[in-house]
Amino acid sequence: MGFFDCGISKAEFLSDDADKMEKWLNEGNNGEMNYLKNNREKRYNPQYLVDGAKSVISVLYNYFPSKQLINNYNYKISKYAYGTDYHYVIKEKLKSLLVEIENKTGKLNSRVFVDSAPVLDRAWARKSGLGFIGKNTMLINRKGGSFFFIGHIITNLELHYNDSNDIKNYCGNCTKCIDACPTNAIKDNFVDARSCLSYLTIEYNGDLPADKKNYFNNWIFGCDICQDICPWNRFSTHHSEELFEPSDELLNMKKEDWDNMDKVKFNNLFKGSAVSRTRYKGLKRNIDFLKG
């Protein structure tokens, strides 16, 4: 079905990850993302999400593009948002995978998840052996880097587990992501969202901080700096998902086109895209902020 990798872990309480998450929240690193404070028991224990849960099937889906938007003196959006919203694409593939599983097992008590429910996506992917958590907090797969979406099927089917005891951080002494982050958002193996360009351009609803304007580097939706600089992404290969390909119109957008974009243009350009999350008002705020 096009998944890059798959791992299976036992559905159980994630005690260490729960402790780290609680500390991160208590220090206010979530900024305005108050939804992260909700449903904490479900976030840490999949048995609250699926009755009788025994297994978490985790998958990776590549989104590293072969074509990139014009970068020279132009505004930039994260690669994950070039095409169709990944929530729809991955969820449909997971539903199809679940059908194939149930063809062999009979009806199960299962749910599919793609970054839209209280699930610690990277923790489960790491636990199932799909990678390690880098200093930039991204899941890094040693065969393919970090440009992946993560999806899960939580099920009451008991399986053989790839539970990984080898969760070593293979970053070693490398600090390229930390050094490259223009706002110093990457701390000691965690990210302070309040300084992160992805958070500021997507999640944050207030006025953008004038003192950080020179650090935005023309990013108007998300930021890929800490991934682009990561040595592990030399192993990235181009995805083969047609729905993730950017439209010709998006590929040819120049700075003046972004500056002059109206709501109709925005709706046509980003219909069914993750960029629609900011709405026209949010993206226009980001552009106007950088335009001055």
Secondary structure E strands in 92-207: 110-113, 132-133, 139-140, 148-155
pTM: 0.95
115 as an active site residue: the answer is yes
Over range 159-187, report the average pLDDT.
89
**Residue 71: pLDDT band by 50, 70, 90 thresholds?**
confident
Residue 165 scores a pLDDT above 90: no
Specify whether the CB–CB gap between 246 and 83 falls below 8 A: yes
Q: Which helix (H) or strand (E) holds 43?
A: helix 40-44
Lowest model confidence (mean pLDDT) among 69-78, 93-102, 215-224, 231-240: 69-78
Nearest to 59 by CA among 86, 19, 20: 86
Residue-range domain boundaries for the chain: 5-291
Q: Is the pLDDT of residue 166 over 70?
A: no
Side-chain-facing half-sphere of 200: CA atoms under 13 Å: 26
d(CA 59, CA 32) in angstroms, rounded, equals 29
Per-chain mean pLDDT for the chain? 95
Catalytic residue, chosen from 19, 85, 115, 121, is 115
Residue 121 contacts by C-beta under 8 Å, 6 or more apart in sequence? 113, 115, 139, 150, 152
Q: Find tokens 């950017």 and name the residue.
A: 246
